[in-house]
Amino acid sequence: MTNKRYAIEVQGLTKSFGSVKVLKGIDLRVERGTVYAILGPNGAGKTTLVSILSTLLRPDAGKAEVFGLDVVRDADAVRGIVGLTGQFAAVDEGLSGHDNLELFGRLTGYGRKAAYARADELLDAFELTEAANRPAAQYSGGMRRRLDIAAAMLVRPELLFLDEPTTGLDPRSRSGVWDIVRTLVAGGTTVLLTTQYLEEADQLADRLAVIDGGTVIAEGTAAELKALVGSGTVQIRLARPELRSLAEQVLRRELNAEVRLHADPATLSAQASDPEPAARVLTELSRAGIATTQFSLGQPSLDEVFLALTGRPAEEAAEEAVS
Amino acid sequence: MSESTNGSKLLRILSVSARPARPNALHAVATFTWRSMRHTVSQLPYMAIDVLIFPVIFLLIFTYMFGGAISGSTGHYLQFLLPGMLVYTVTTMTVYIGIAIKTDIDKGVFNRFRTLPFWQPAAIIGTMLVNLLSYAAALATTIGIGLLLGFRPEAGLTGALLALLLVILYAFSVSWIFACIGVVVKKTESITSMTYIVLYPLMFTSNVFTDTSTMPDWLGRIVAYNPISLASTAARGLMHGTATAQDLIAALGGMILLTLAFAPLTFRLYLKKAKQ
Ligand SMILES: Nc1ncnc2c1ncn2[C@@H]1O[C@H](COP(=O)(O)OP(=O)(O)OP(=O)(O)O)[C@@H](O)[C@H]1O
Ligand SMILES: [Mg+2]
């Protein structure tokens, strides 16, 4: 197990629910000791993939191995070395945070005293000591998420799955979770996380895969992916919506890129390969007498990645997955 | 999260890489018993309704409002009613095991259980054991109120204790039906509607409230083989020292059959769900 290069190896993995094909042949390799992100819109099959890898679901066909152990044949052994923090918190809402960790600790094999002490330690490290004796049902989203991650840390997992660990969290809680992930990796754990935010993948992941409609449509480092998409996006909100077509011309000329007109009639965006031309846009706009109320140069959103990779926005992909 | 302090705490936690040995079945059952006790304590106010108020009200209503009409005198009726009332009280409570199991499955916590290396049926057994305690509490109240109202077990303390034991065994066997339903059912509400569809008709075609000898022959027969009747007859017999071997064999046989049919089925279905 320790000499394996890959924490995860997946080949031709498929899974259907009834007649709905959710995974249509996924190939994936995750090197041990790294963070790997699965990026995809709603309904792409992220949770299904994580559930199969963490032995909660059986695949229909294909191979999935965790440190060389088959997730179906060696399910028990796999359960012994992976930790899972699912998309929806897997905690007992009727129990306090401390009781939750104590419960899971005892079910992991700790004796009463050891489980109690371990729960104390984990609550301390995850900043939940103050809420230790409150029912988990009263926890905020961020607290529940931390409790859920703590529950996956009762023994150090070789591989940790985090399914959308920061969806619905405020920026502070989000960066808290990011810090936890970085610490885990520093401690030697391999992390596979799913997310809908390219920024998150960029912040944390060594490599990432974009999945859509049950297949991997792009794979690589965040830098590679961004190069594919264009490193950033200029988004502009105009003071006067009627000037948008004028602004569109300026953007197209300066950035030499396709301009997106948003649903909001005052907003438009375009990809920018470098900050300089983006800055030039601002000067050119004011020279043309077009006032802006907002100007941002941001990372490409999942939406833009999608647009670049598939030619259609992520919401559409999500709708297709549902239908 | 301040990276320096909590980061180092986290790293210390992660540096413990020793993995405890897989918990044995007994340890797992004890853990679920503990969990279920915690749940019960936090739900004590609601439990009190079943365990205290419900038996009191029913006993009072049946004894004083219907007792005279059914049996001629309330005191006489109470002697007849109370053992059956014990059966009635726990029967309504057997639904809870189903709801508890279904709630776990619905809430994410079931997924956490599935990823842990313990003997999965422990979840059901531990919960069941604590339910037996609440059955005992409800039975104790019912008997207590009965004694206050003038009920006297003719077979004395021994008879009363044996009757209690029998009713708890009965509740244990019926619980497996609902445990099984709790594992397979799609919606929690279906379990509650099952109570109305299955339990209430059974309850009212039993001999809990009236003597079967006053019923028409065909109905009397249905009533006699109703598991609730079998348990009531046996409990009544033990309580008053009139139990025949046949009564007891019929009652215990029914319970054993129910348990043998539903307990293994429940485990199998639950494991299948957990392993998927
Ligand atoms: N148990 C199930 N039965 C039937 N269909 C399912 C089941 N689980 C998932 N699906 C379907 O599979 C598809 C993929 O679901 P999945 O949960 O894997 O997506 P996801 O990428 O995690 O989406 P999200 O971002 O919304 O969490 C969806 O269309 C969903 O409706
Ligand atoms: Mg999901």
B1 falls within a domain: no
Report if residue B165 sits inside a domain: yes
Q: Chain A within 8 Å of B10 (Cβ-Cβ)?
A: yes
| Phi and psi, residue B104, nearest 5° | -60, -45
The three-state secondary structure class of A134 is coil
Per-residue pLDDT, B2: 46
pTM over 0.90? The answer is no
The pLDDT of A178-186, averaged and rounded, is: 88
DSSP string covering A226-273, please? HHHH-SEEEEEEESSGGGHHHHHHHHHHHH-SPEEEPSSTTEEEEEES
The answer to whether residues A234 and A295 touch, using CB atoms and an 8 Å cutoff, is: yes
Q: What is the dihedral of CA B164, B169, B170, B174, to 10 degrees?
A: 140
- Work out the mean pLDDT of chain A and round it to a whole number: 87
Q: Identify whether B16 is part of a domain.
A: no
Task: Identify the DSSP state of A135.
Answer: B
Number of domains in chain B: 1
**Residues paired with residue A96 on neighbouring β-strands, in sequence order:** A135
Give the separation between CA B171 and CA B93, rounded to whole angstroms: 8
Residue A2 pLDDT > 60, yes or no? no
Q: Which domain holds residue B256?
A: 22-272
**Total CB pairs under 8 A between chain A and B:** 129
Residue B11 lies in a domain: no
Which candidate, B229, B236, B216, places its Cα nearest to that of B159? Answer: B236
**A179, closest residue in chain B (CA to CA):** B3
- Quote the DSSP letter at residue B116: S
Unique residue bearing structure tokens 């003597």: B211
Quick one: pLDDT at residue B17?
A: 65
Which chain A residues contact residue B127 at CB under 8 A?
none
pLDDT (0 to 100) of residue A311: 67
Q: How far from the centroid of its chain's Cα atoms is residue A34's Cα? A: 15
DSSP H/E element including A255: helix A244-255
B273 near A CB under 8 A = no
pLDDT tens column, A251-286: 898 888 888 888 888 999 887 777 788 888 889 999
- Out of A79, A84, A86, name the one closest to residue B117 (CB): A79
Question: How far apart are alpha carbons A234 and A114 in whole angstroms?
Answer: 54
Is residue B245 in a domain? Answer: yes
What Cα–Cα distance (Å) separates residue B240 from each residue in A93, B119, B149, B227, B251?
Answer: 46, 43, 17, 20, 16
Q: Per-residue pLDDT tens for A141-172?
A: 889 989 999 998 888 889 999 999 988 888 88
Chain mean position to CA B146: 21
Q: Is the pLDDT of residue A195 over 60?
A: yes
Per the listing, tokens 């007792």 go with B67
Q: Are strands A267-272 and A259-261 parallel, antiparallel or unpaired?
A: antiparallel
Q: How far is the CA of A22 from the centre of ligand 1 (A)?
A: 7
B63-118 per-position pLDDT tens digit: 887 777 777 777 788 888 899 999 998 998 898 899 999 999 988 889 899 888 88
Ligand 1, residues at Cβ distance < 6 Å: A 17, 20, 22, 40, 42-48, 87, 321-322
Model confidence pLDDT, tens digit, residues A115-128? 999 999 999 988 89
| Helix, strand, coil percent content, chain A, rounded in steps of 5 | 40, 30, 30
According to the model, what pLDDT value does residue B1 have? Answer: 45
HSE (side-chain half, CA atoms, 13 Å) at A115: 23
Nearest ligand atom owner, CA of A163: 2
Q: What is the 3-state secondary structure (H, E, C) of B140-164?
A: HHHHHHHHHHCCCCCCHHHHHHHHH
**pLDDT tens track for A59-111:** 999 999 999 999 999 988 898 889 998 888 889 999 999 999 999 999 999 99
Q: Which of A16, A46, A56, A215 to mutate to test the pocket of ligand 1 (most atoms within 8 A of CB)?
A: A46
Report which of B3, B170, B1 is spatially closest to residue B93, judged by C-alpha positions.
Answer: B170
Domains (range + CATH), chain A: 6-226 (3.40.50.300), 231-299 (3.30.70.790)
Average pLDDT over residues A184-207: 89
Quickly list DSSP for chain B: --HHHHHHHHHHHHH----PPPPPHHHHHHHHHHHHHHHHHHTHHHHHIIIIIHHHHHHHIIIIIIHHHHHSSHHHHHHHHHHHHHHHHHHHHTHHHHHHHHHHHHSTHHHHHHHS-S-TTHHHHHHHHHHHHHHHHHHHHHHHHHHHHT---TTHHHHHHHHHHHHHHHHHHHHHHHHHHHHH-SSHHHHHHHIIIIIHHHHHTSSSSS-GGGS-HHHHHHHHHSHHHHHHHHHHHHHHT---HHHHHHHHHHHHHHHHHHHHHHHHHHHHHHH-
**For chain B, which ranges sit under pLDDT 70?**
1-6, 17, 276
Q: B6 lies in a domain?
A: no
Alpha carbon A306 to chain centroid, angstroms: 15
pLDDT recorded at residue A51: 93
- Establish if B8 belongs to a structural domain: no
- B interface mutation test: which of A79, A98, A103, A180 has the most B CBs within 10 A? A103
Which ligand approaches the C-alpha of residue A44 most closely? Answer: 1
Contact B9 A121 (CB under 8 A): yes
CB contact under 8 A, B10 and A184: yes
